[in-house]
A and B are shown apart, each in its own frame.
Chain A
Amino acid sequence: MIRLLPGIDTGLWLRPPAGVSLLLLGGFAAVGLLCMAYAWAAERRRPAMAVLVHVGGGMLTLLAGDLLTLLIGWELLSFSAFFLLARRGRGPGLRIAPLYLMFQIGAAALLFVAIMIQAQSTGSLDVAELVPDAQPYAAAAVVVKIAVIPLHAWLVLAYTSAPFAVAPLLSLYTTKVGVYSAARLLVIPGLAEVGAVMALAGVIAALAQKSGRRLLAYHIISQVGYMMAGVGLATELGKEAGLYHALNHVIYKSLLFMVMGAVIFRTGRERLDQLGGLARAMPWTFAAGIVGAASISGVPLFNGFASKELLTAATEAGWIKLLLLLASAGTGLSFLKFLNGVFVQPPRAPYLHPILEAPRSLRWPMAVLSALCLAGGLWPSAGLPGLVHDYYRLESVAMAVIPLVGSVVLWRLVGRRLLAATPAPAPGWLGREARKLVGGLRAAIVATHEGPWQAYLMLVFLAWAALAWALLRQVSP
């Protein structure tokens, strides 16, 4: 246990959580550093401060020994992400940044209410299971943080409008911190079910996407659903499986965002119906993409397989298993679409300049992450040394292969249709009307506050009369 500030007993200390292996925490830190290297290589003006604060905030949350430190970690993540989004000073990232911050701080405010109730009932700020009164608030905070489907706008908008170099970093901690907090704080029935539905809904939404990073973003929602399906069980095995999946997910999802980033860097395109034919031009990036796609789809020998297998083993309800199985098939299909769209299919419009392989500074983080994906699949029990589990049994491999075969078959049937070009949607009228409404409201407010002073005087006398009447009635009814 490390005190952040000597002399203060009420909070602010670090304590590596018991029951979560240090390797797991180290993994989070290592992936954070790799994403940092990637961001620094790709941006001309290095985002040093915000990136460091972001990684630090993530680690602070994971190591928090008390709820106050946890909250500070959440806030550091939110604000550094805000600056990472806004730092170019123009473009979609700047537009989305306040929305992102609103959602994040809304979640933090809910967590704050939960923390207050917890401190009030138990008198301690330890990170522990919250009292039943505080659970609904903390659950609401987590639901916003992990972007359950009707509240997912911030995630998709932010991760697709961020500069490509920082997108891997942004996708790294925010949602996983929600999962981790759920594992530490929540015991509320229904989380696992919500997670399983999320896993499938995210995949279905991802299948409909035309843009590479939007597809990846919806897969975050789906993968976080997997994690919640484990963490929400509130059993020891479930929590470990969920967090193990979180670590594996962090590795392959940042790899996939890096691959997409390298593609955007070299081509300037990101819609799947405008890309294609990069397999020959960018072989290393293609290979990294294959590794990432195989991991996220749960192909045996890659790390996604190991944690998905552990999750299935932790789950008991049959229909949750079925939902996760369907989600796996959908994931496989979705990434066949991704790889085909970006690398394999012939490009619809020729590129204006010859495409080169990604520069070496972007390639080596991808190479390290790919190696980690493979290592996690080959030695699955290394990530959770405390847990004895036989990952490569016949039935577990079969359970992983069946949905993959299903997705390949589906790809043969409907794959072309998934990649068909579609026109961009027309901008909606809702925004314009809302702006008009706010404008009218503003004019009305300004008019009231500059306005009729006779009415003000009436208001004062009315207030006095009402108050005096009420007080007098109380003393002599």
Chain B
Amino acid sequence: MSSFPVLVILIPLGGAFLVSLVQLLLPRLVKPLLIAVALAQGLVSAALVTAVARSGAVSHHLGGWPAPVGIALVVDELSALFLAVAGIGMPLTLLYLTATSRTSPGKTAVLLCLYAAATAGQTVTGDLFNLFVFIELTTVVTIGLIARKGTGVSAAHAFHYLLYASLSGLFLLLAIVLLYRATGTLDLARIAALGPDLPPRVAALALASVMVAFGIKIALVPLHLWQPGAYAAAGSSVAAALSGVGMTVSTYALVRLVWSLGGGNDVPGLVLRVLLVGGCVNVLVGHVLGLVQRDIRRMLAFSSVAHAGYILMGLGLGTAAGLAAGMLHAANHAIMKMAAFWSGRALMQHASTPWIPRLQGVAYAAPGWFALFMVATLALVGIPPFHGFASKALLARASLDQGLDLPVVVIAVGTAISLAYYARLYVVALRIPRRPRAPPPASPGRWAAGLIVAVLCLACLALGFATPAVMPALDRAAIRAFGLPAAVGHPRSETTPRSAPDPFGPEAP
């Protein structure tokens, strides 16, 4: 079991190597190989996550060297959640790609394997520089994924991303240099232990650099400008992984570093405020900009900007409840965004265009896909009983615990706006076209892809009901990982409800 953290990196890494080799020698075997890699990665990740959930953290020292010299791989309860997203989301993406690509999936599959290795590595590593290497690997792979269609537009967007991501890497490197000079170690656990003793100026500069570095990766407004175009250029099947897995894992790295630097429960109030206010701004800007988009992929990309806002809002509350709710929303968002991108892709294929105004009648041409798309987007909007509602409700409750009303109002307004753009799409899809639509070109792997998306949609529904069961474990993870207070007082609980008997109230038990 203790070697599993190595396996979740090695399996996709080796897979990438083998796929590129097999592609040259035996192209027919690429698809079976990809399926095998995806299944192995998914099973190992699931086993690891289950083991951590059952019996606590699993760690592995590479080469048997202890921490100050060697590199540690640690999976605790916090990283287990994100490993679940990366270690199951990426195999699903690989399977989806394998199912839907007409010929052998080629370079994209190699890049996605590398992406799977890099994202899994980000979640399991316990070493700061190792984290940096994995983040740079994601950056390089992402550039390839954005440019994979080889058109001028995709090259331009890849270039934009390259600029942004290099700056992100630059600032992260700056933070690492500062921390290494101050502490003399790169081990995350030791840095977290030394956090309170860091020189305040060093800690401040490192925090600012970390925030900007991950602000770019997570698309914190106004650093989000690269993102919508990049997702549209990458295409839906890959954008699902970039948004669902990439953004989530970056969130994890942000949480890990910020809370390590702050030394547990002592994160500077300013950083929390930046996260909270930035989160609210992200929600509003993302949803409003989503409202004016005409390309499904760009619309979903802006929805990602908004959902990053929900997650950061939860982190910015600075309590265990807020952190747990934010992390739960990150995982939930990964599931529903992947389902939305993939079902949206099927709708686009039926209409032969990504333009929303031209989607007339796809609801009749592809009723199953339309239903799946509705489930995914309603979960994104946060309609009960889907799990998007559950995590939003927990976010709202965590913010009310702090006596903050404004985030709740932002959540409510964001919900209404996001519903507006999805409802517009439903209406177009339900409109009967003037001329009957030419049947779409037969898309390969419809049933397999439909099965994958249906599983994701079912997860949206099932997790909505399972949230009460999952939540205590998440709360525990947040408390244990950072020693956070469960909640900082309940300002509202002083107001007692009126005691007048209510004739319509529930009968006394």
Contact surface of A with B, Cβ cutoff 8 Å: 5, 8-10, 15, 17-20, 65, 68, 71-72, 75, 79, 82, 86-90, 94-95, 97-98, 101-102, 105-106, 109-110, 112-113, 116-117, 119-122, 126-129, 131-133, 183-184, 187, 236, 239, 438, 441-442, 445, 448-451, 453, 456-457, 459-461, 463-464, 467-468, 470-472, 474-476
Contact = CB atoms under 8 A, between A and B. Distances in A.
A105 B498 contact: no
| Closest CB pairs A-B (n = 8) | A89-B432, A475-B200, A468-B208, A471-B204, A109-B412, A467-B208, A98-B423, A464-B212
A107 to B, nearest CB: 9
Interface stretch (B92-100, B123-131, B241-249, B413-421): B413-421
Contact of A75 (B159, B215, B293, B383): B383
Given A102-B416, A116-B397, A120-B401, A97 B492 contact: no
A332 to B, nearest CB: 32
Contacts of B201: 472, 475-476
A121 B492 CA distance: 6
13 contacts: A98-B424, A116-B408, A117-B400, A129-B498, A187-B500, A236-B503, A450-B156, A456-B164, A457-B163, A467-B208, A470-B270, A472-B205, A475-B204
Nearest to A448: B225
B271 interface: yes
B225 A72 contact: no
Most buried by B among A106, A460, A470: A460
Interface string B194-225: 00000011011101110110011000001101
A470 B205 CA distance: 10
B409 interface: yes
Given A109-B413, A116-B408, A467-B274, 7 more contacts: A17-B504, A82-B426, A110-B412, A131-B495, A239-B504, A464-B212, A474-B268
B64 interface: no
Most buried by B among A117, A468, A470: A468
B289 interface: yes
B465 interface: yes
Contacts of A94: 427, 430-431
Contacts of A65: 506
Given A68-B384, A460-B223, A475-B201, A86 B505 contact: no
B25 interface: no
Given A105-B419, A457-B167, A449 B228 contact: yes
B385 interface: yes
A87 B396 CA distance: 35
Nearest to A456: B225
Contact of A463 (B207, B212, B503): B212
A106 B413 CA distance: 8
A5 B431 CA distance: 36
A20 B504 CA distance: 7
B384 A71 contact: yes
Interface string B427-449: 10011100000000000000000
B24 interface: no
Nearest to A109: B412
Contacts of A86: 426-427, 430
B373 interface: no
Contacts of B480: none
A156 to B, nearest CB: 19
A8 B465 contact: yes
Given A94-B430, A460-B164, A105 B385 contact: no
Contacts of A5: 465
Contact of A90 (B424, B432, B492, B502): B432
B171 interface: yes
A234 to B, nearest CB: 9
A114 to B, nearest CB: 10
Contact of A129 (B209, B397, B400, B502): B502
B63 interface: no
Contacts of A68: 384
B194 to A, nearest CB: 17
A5 B412 CA distance: 27
A25 to B, nearest CB: 13
Contacts of B225: 448-449, 451, 456, 459
B205 A468 contact: yes
Given A239-B504, A471-B270, A72 B385 contact: yes
A204 to B, nearest CB: 31
A386 to B, nearest CB: 11
Given A10-B468, A75-B383, A438 B292 contact: yes
A119 B495 CA distance: 13
Most buried by B among A71, A121, A239, A472: A121
Contacts of A441: 292
B409 A113 contact: yes
A116 B215 CA distance: 30
A472 B268 CA distance: 11
A460 B94 CA distance: 33
Contacts of A75: 383-384
A15 B509 CA distance: 12
B268 A72 contact: no
Contacts of A464: 171, 208-209, 212
Nearest to A180: B504
Contacts of B271: 471
B12 interface: no
B499 to A, nearest CB: 10
Nearest to B159: A453
B361 interface: yes
Contacts of A79: 383
Contacts of B211: 467
A154 B89 CA distance: 41
A89 B361 contact: yes
